[in-house]
Structure 1
Amino acid sequence: MEVLRAGQVFDGERFLGATDIAIDDGTVVDVGPPGAYASDVTVEELGDVTVLPGLVDAHQHLTWDCSTDPLGWHRESDDEALLERGRANARRALAAGVTTVRELGGRGLVTVALRDELARDPSSGPMLLVAGPALTTPGGHCWFLGGECADEAALRAAVARLAAAGVDVVKVMATGGTVTPGSAPHESQFGVAELRAVVESAHAAGLPVAAHAHGTSGVADAVTAGVDTIEHVSFMTADGIAQDPDLVARLAASGLPLSITGGTVPGPLRPEIAIRLPALLEHLRGLVASGANCLFSTDAGIGPPKPHDVMVHGVTQLVSMIGLPTDRALAMCTSLPAKALGIADRAGRLAPGMPADVLVVAGRADEDVEAMLRPERVLHAGIIVADGRALDSPV
């Protein structure tokens, strides 16, 4: 058994102050005040650091290349190139402390193969939950992933194929998006009947449904259809952001997990996002303040501002731009997404019996959230996968 002794610990829900974390055979066995131990126990004094659970990013695209042309990347790349890109992106995410990723849109079954490969070697990348290709209309958002469906029958058949292939979640595009030429994020792609067909088929196979939805009609239809999470929830219109307090109240009352996708590295945003940013931040503040069940994810991979280690920037931006307390921001990246994804027994908390997925950052994150940008060590299933002040892939 070894003990990590830190000046500050966030356990996934709250800051504990000076705390010991005892780890044995890749599992957390105790979390408590600093104490005395038998002579054969190694106690490592980490000093003025913050220790927290490995981060849970509920929305990434690991086999995407972060370029401005995802369609071109997929057109030019065979499955082996996608798989190799996925491996590299997984390593980058893990080095920044992201120990669990829900992969919500890859071509074909490449991400299923990647999930199984990483599971055999925890040092190679995060634990993955994968969707395979998102279900979309012919020529619709992310059609190039291979999930085009023309009607309810095609949607039900596609869900059956994905279930047989062993995916962990089904993703459906309730609205268009911003990275597919000819697709508009405020416009609905499927209505309630089609979305309900996906939900019924997926639930019958024991799978949850994640609905991509920007526009308010798509968001409302996803709630009515009974999906398990809604992604983005941005309320985009043709040229701005809708302020819809009635829909916000409905979302809050539903308790449905809402996966807010944010986080960017410093630098310019896409023009269609930059022009909407003030209104979008106002909307997100209202959504969080409403008591809605919000978690935070990144949509990593879709463009240059979103590399796969961007989540730590997202934490700082939740505090600086949305105005959240640091403990709330961290919970939205650890325990809350783990609960929403049905893996609260495997991720998102530092507690006895949990896998030792651990992120150590330099300084007191409760006093300076930018400590999150200074990762010092990452453990995944008790294995040290990144160590030292300078990581190979700095965030």
Structure 2
Amino acid sequence: MHSYAIRAASMFDGFDLSGPTTVQVTDGRILSVDRTGAAPTGSRDVLDLGPRSCLLPGLVDTHVHLAFDAGPDPVAALVKTDDAELLTHMRAAAQSALRAGVTTVRDLGDRSYLALALAEEFRRQPELGPEILAAGPPLTTPGGHCHFFGGEVEGAEALRAAVRERHARGCAVIKIMASGGHMTPGSVAPHDSQYTLADLRVVVEEAHGLGLRVAAHAHGVAAIKNAVAAGVDSIEHVSFLTGDGTTPDQDVLAAVAESDSFVSLTLGLDPRFPNPAMSSPHASVVLDAYRDLHKLGAKVVIGSDAGIGPFKPHGVLPYAVSDLVQLGISSPREALAAVTSLAAQACGVDGRKGQITIGADADLLAVHGNPMEDPAALLDVQAVFRAGVRIR
């Protein structure tokens, strides 16, 4: 039995900040949490992180694409790469996320179920990468958004069969493209719906019957309304696009906020690279909608969409916490919860991930500074632990 203690000057446990803390780790799990600042007992092996340290749960990114290389044209790169090489690239992407302190990722779209293969690798050797909660190829209409992943399907029975196949293979979540998107030439516009409300209800009913959650990609207002009405577990992007641009409807905002669905906001940019979407005239309208959703009480988490371009490298999630605060969407405490405890709830792994508590996995991040005062402290990584193993 391998046991050791970690001492930190402060701790954010997924909910609140406290002072000097000692966390005892045994065989990859948290055995005890002592907030008195007392020296640990019963452990010869003590790691003291020093006077500026803050210990947090490992971060949880609710929306990534490990199969995208974060290059200038990730779709073209994907299409010309065979599965063996793609798996190698995905492994490197996952490791980049882990080094940034992202210890759990929800992969919402890959090819050939490669994220499942990688998840199994990391289950056997968790120190090699984050825990991956894989969706497999996302459900999309023929020729629809991200059809190149191989998840084209239409019709109620085919949708039910697709959900059952993903469950049988071991997927952790079902991803469905309720609307079009920005990365698939020739498919419907991002504001147009790809599936009907009836289709979405079929997928939710089948998935929930099998114990799986459903994440719906939804840019368009109609798709957002349908996703809420169908009872999906998380709505991705939530851009409120219409044929005339971006128009957040107050009734739809209220419906989203009052629903049981988590809202996975697409935030987090590497400042070294420009993001054309942020210079769009619609960007400020989307950000206003995000602020309104938070004010109305929506369950806001962050899905970085890592991989979709140079401004979205794998491991970009820590930047998103600063975004939430600087854009006036939430407080620092709420922003930190959005990438730890609340994100774990959205992914169905709460209790085990996203918090520092007895019995949770020892997936931990230590930074220099106080992220409650300055969320940018998350970028000053001191140490990362995965299943109790220090990997940085």
The TM-score bracket by the shorter chain reads over 0.9
Give the direction of change, closer, same or farther, for the CA distance of 1:85–1:38 in structure 2 (3 Å limit): same
Q: Aligned match of 2:183 in 179, 185, 208? A: 179
Indicate how the Cα distance of structure 1 residues 269 and 138 shifts in structure 2: closer, same or farther if over 3 A, else same.
Answer: farther
8 Å Cα contact 2:67/2:78 also seen in 1 = no
Distance 2:241 2:278 in 1: 10
Aligned with residue 308 of structure 1, among 314, 320, 328: 314
**1:211 partner SS:** strand
Q: Given residue 260 of structure 1, which amino acid in structure 2 is its aligned partner?
A: L
* Separation (CA, whole Å) in 2 of partners of 1:132 and 1:226: 21
Equivalent-residue separation in structure 2 for 1:69 and 1:175 (angstroms): 21
Deviation at residue 182 of structure 1 after TM alignment: 2.6
Say which is worse superposed, 260-269 or 111-120, in terms of deviation: 260-269
Give the Cα–Cα distance (whole angstroms) in 2 for the partners of residues 75 and 43 of structure 1: 48
1:142 aligned onto 2:146: yes
| Superposition RMSD in Å | 1.6
Q: Partner of 1:236: helix, strand, or coil?
A: strand
- Answer whether contact 1:126 1:380 (CA < 8 A) is retained: yes
C-alpha deviation, 1:272, in angstroms: 4.1
| 1:256-335 equivalence runs, <5 A | 256-275=261-280, 276-335=282-341
Kept after mapping to 2: 8 A contact 1:346/1:355: yes
- How many residues are paired up? 386
Distance 2:225 2:163 in 1: 22
Contact 2:268 2:320 in 1 (8 A): yes
Compared CA separation, residues 38 and 10, structure 1 to 2 (3 A): closer
Alignment of 1:1-395 (within 5 A): 1-31=3-33, 32-38=35-41, 40-46=43-49, 47-183=51-187, 184-238=189-243, 240-275=245-280, 276-386=282-392
Partner-residue secondary structure (3-state), 1:138: coil
- In the alignment, the residues of structure 1 paired with residue 133 and residue 374 of structure 2 have an alpha-carbon distance, to the nearest angstrom, of 32
Change (3 A) 1:69 1:112: same
CA drift at 1:385: 0.9
Which secondary structure does the structure 2 equivalent of 1:150 belong to?
Answer: coil
Structure 2 length as normaliser, TM-score? 0.94
TM-score of the superposition, structure 1-length normalised? 0.94
Moved more, 54-63 or 160-169: 160-169
Secondary structure of 1:213 counterpart: strand
Pair 272,4 (structure 1): closer, same or farther in 2 beyond 3 Å: closer
One-letter amino acid matched to 1:379: F
The answer (yes or no) to whether the contact 1:70–1:179 under 8 Å persists in 2 is no
In the alignment, residue 242 of structure 1 is paired with which amino acid?
A: T
Measure, in 2, the Cα distance between the counterparts of 1:253 and 1:345. 24
Q: Which amino acid aligns with 1:280?
A: V
**Matched residues in 1 for 2:260 and 2:82: separation?**
41
User: Using a 3 Å threshold, how does the CA distance of structure 1 residues 40 and 171 change in structure 2: closer, same or farther?
Assistant: closer
CA contact (8 A) 1:64 1:82 kept: no
Letter in 1 for 2:203: V
Q: CA–CA distance in 1 between the matches of 2:115 and 2:43? A: 42
Q: Does the CA contact (< 8 Å) of 2:221 and 2:248 recur in 1? A: no
What code does the residue aligned with 2:89 have?
R
Whether contact under 8 Å (1:281, 1:322) holds in the other structure is no
Contact 2:231 / 2:260 at 8 angstroms: preserved in 1? no
What do the CA deviations read for 1:164-201 (whole angstroms, capped 9, x no partner)? 22211111100011111134211111010111111122
Flag structure 1 segments of 5+ consecutive residues without an equivalent. Answer: 387-395
Does structure 1 retain, via aligned residues, the 8 Å contact 2:65–2:107?
yes
